[in-house]
Amino acid sequence: MASLEQYHAKRDFKKTAEPAGKVVRNRKGEAGGIFVVHKHAATRLHYDLRLEHGGVLWSWAITRGPSLDPHEKRFAVHVEDHPIDYASFEGTIPKGEYGGGSVIVWDEGKWQPETDPAHAMKKGHISFELHGHKLNGLWHLVRLKPRPGKTRDNWLLIKSDDAAARPGEDILQEAPESVKSGLTIEEVGEGKTADGKKPRVWHSSKRSTSKAKAKAAKQLEFIEPCLATLQRDAPPGKEWLHEVKFDGYRMQAQLAGTKVRLLTRTGLDWTGKFGGAIVAELGRLKCTDAIIDGEIVVLADSGVSSFALLQADLSAGRTDRFLYYVFDLIRLDGQDLRKEPLVERKQALQDLLGKQPDNSGSPLQRPFCRTGQGHAGARLPHGVGRHRLQARRRALSQRPRLVLGEVEMHAAPGVRHRRLPAVGEDRARIALLAGRLP
């Protein structure tokens, strides 16, 4: 039977704004429910995964935070159950109190267990799906064998290798902000709030000001990009467009009047992270409003996009090497283009950008694109280096279809075009993806 006895014993609710809460015994619904991941700057920064079950939140402290990489196994300590009310808590726990430090709601959503959660907990292996802003797909919590003389209940959190997996990517760095307030853990620690006030202890259940709401109402609606899933074979036929898939940050550019925003694939505003050049170039486009899909990258000396260099530049505050490769136009001058064929959207995007010579020096770039069949039709222009290709149907509108593919290949130095070798040859490695067009 669920209990909050340990939770209450560790806290003085006269000093902390954390909710006292109670077990919600009449909470209805199927197995699963809400989940939340708190980012917690206590003595050591960590993340707390909380899953609703039995009227409480089962809780695990994840020392290094969750990872979308299936090869990463993250250590997680099973801690005391928390009240359901804790899911919305965001603020600062006073120093000297249990867990003293700042807390933000890093992610939230729904979770669905694969089997009976109580039985899975007892067995020591919980398989479940997450449907959040940042975390999605199938996950596993696996209990470790206890060490002699130790009482801690240690587990591993592991991402399943599915459509939502992102090997090599760091979601913690890509999306550090709260999904409720948009604030970072540092800003909450400084006493900042969404409405600019600085109470001694703040949490996000307070409503924003009417001025902030009015400002938000003028912004374009964020359109969640569709992601890819692994497929076995390259797509055949001339109905496919093949374009370079760069290693960078997927970014949605929103233009509304004189306002330009750059949003991550989870909808977080990263406009200020990339300097002024990209924003200025987007601001020169002649339209009343637009939503553009693309990828921000940093190129190595070889001409190949480098995710490591991109992360290093973001960490160092360097902004002079960012390029924005744009590949789709989702909205233009008040019209939703998602139902239009891909080739027509690309033509509209080209018309919007205007004529621009190759290597023009502009931070806005159009990626290489060619019609053809899987490995037989894919060619890489000089200077593209070693990249992957993604394939999308020419006539596809933005409806759920299996459309994306990636091919990783070499382009030899000094050779203007190099045909992709046959699938079985050593110099080609095929990793095909399927998903819905963004």
Tens of pLDDT, residue by residue over 87-128, are 999 999 999 999 999 999 999 999 999 999 999 999 999 999
Split at pLDDT 50, 70, 90, the class of 394 is low
Highest mean pLDDT among 11-15, 238-242, 358-362, 428-432: 11-15
Split at pLDDT 50, 70, 90, the class of 1 is low
Cα–Cα distance measured from residue 293 to residue 301, given in angstroms and rounded to the nearest whole number: 25
Tokens 């989702």, located at residue = 330
Give Cβ neighbours of residue 62 (< 8 Å, ≥ 6 apart). Answer: 46, 47, 48, 49, 74, 75, 76, 157
Does residue 281 have a pLDDT over 80?
yes
Query: Is residue 126 within 8 Å of residue 117, measured between CB atoms?
Result: yes
pLDDT, average across residues 224-229: 68
Give Cβ neighbours of residue 433 (< 8 Å, ≥ 6 apart). Answer: 228, 229, 230, 231, 390, 404, 405, 406
Tens of pLDDT, residue by residue over 286-342, are 999 999 999 999 989 888 888 889 888 887 888 899 999 998 999 999 999 988 888
Classify residue 402 by burial, with Cβ atoms within 10 Å: 0-12, 13-18, 19+: middle
Residue predicted with more confidence, 392 or 90: 90
Residue 157 pLDDT: 98
Tokens 């960490």, located at residue = 315
Tens of pLDDT, residue by residue over 134-172, are 999 999 999 999 888 778 899 999 999 988 899 988 999
Residue 393 pLDDT: 54
Q: How many residues appear in the chain?
A: 438
Residue predicted with more confidence, 59 or 259: 59
375 HSE (CA, 13 A, CB side): 19
Q: Write the DSSP symbol of residue 312.
A: H
Cα–Cα distance measured from residue 253 to residue 365, given in angstroms and rounded to the nearest whole number: 13
Split at pLDDT 50, 70, 90, the class of 421 is very low
Cα–Cα distance measured from residue 28 to residue 282, given in angstroms and rounded to the nearest whole number: 48
Residue 343 pLDDT: 85
Any idea which of 45-54, 268-277, 378-387 has the lowest mean pLDDT? Answer: 378-387
Would you list the DSSP string of 398-426? SSS-----EEE----TT-SEEEPPPTTST
Which residue in the list 245, 259, 346, 355 is annotated as catalytic?
245
pLDDT, average across residues 341-367: 73
pLDDT, average across residues 70-75: 96
Residue 407 pLDDT: 37
pLDDT, average across residues 274-293: 91
Does residue 370 have a pLDDT over 60?
no
Reduced to 3 states (helix: H, G, I; strand: E, B; else coil), residue 228 is strand
Query: 411: closest CA among 383, 389, 434?
Result: 383
Domains of the chain and CATH, by start: 5-212 (no CATH), 228-435 (3.30.470.30)
Classify residue 413 by burial, with Cβ atoms within 10 Å: 0-12, 13-18, 19+: exposed
Q: Write the DSSP symbol of residue 84.
A: G
Reduced to 3 states (helix: H, G, I; strand: E, B; else coil), residue 163 is coil
Task: Please give the helix or strand (H or E) that residue 67 lies within, else none.
Answer: none
Hey, what amino acid is at 352? Answer: L
User: In the structure encoding, which two tokens stand for residue 8, read together?
Assistant: 């209450």
Residue 71 pLDDT: 94
Reduced to 3 states (helix: H, G, I; strand: E, B; else coil), residue 278 is helix
Does residue 240 have a pLDDT over 50?
yes
Tell me the chain's radius of gyration from C-alpha atoms: 24
pLDDT, average across residues 374-381: 38
Give Cβ neighbours of residue 9 (< 8 Å, ≥ 6 apart). Answer: none
Query: 36: closest CA among 54, 21, 48?
Result: 48
> Is 150 among the residues known to form the active site?
no
Residue 92 pLDDT: 94
Does residue 431 have a pLDDT over 70?
no
Residue predicted with more confidence, 135 or 388: 135
Neighbours of 163 (CB within 10 A): 15
168 HSE (CA, 13 A, CB side): 7
Residue 342 pLDDT: 85
Task: Please give the helix or strand (H or E) that residue 376 lies within, else none.
Answer: helix 374-377
Neighbours of 139 (CB within 10 A): 23
Hey, what amino acid is at 230? Answer: L
Backbone angles phi and psi of 378, in degrees to 5:
-90, 125
Classify residue 331 by burial, with Cβ atoms within 10 Å: 0-12, 13-18, 19+: buried
Highest mean pLDDT among 123-127, 237-241, 264-268: 123-127
Tens of pLDDT, residue by residue over 166-225, are 998 899 998 899 988 889 999 998 876 655 544 333 333 333 333 333 343 357 889 988
Does residue 422 have a pLDDT over 60?
no
Hey, what amino acid is at 90? Answer: E
Split at pLDDT 50, 70, 90, the class of 382 is very low
Query: Is residue 131 within 8 Å of residue 52, measured between CB atoms?
Result: no
pLDDT, average across residues 374-391: 42
Query: Is residue 336 within 8 Å of residue 359, measured between CB atoms?
Result: no
Hey, what amino acid is at 360? Answer: S
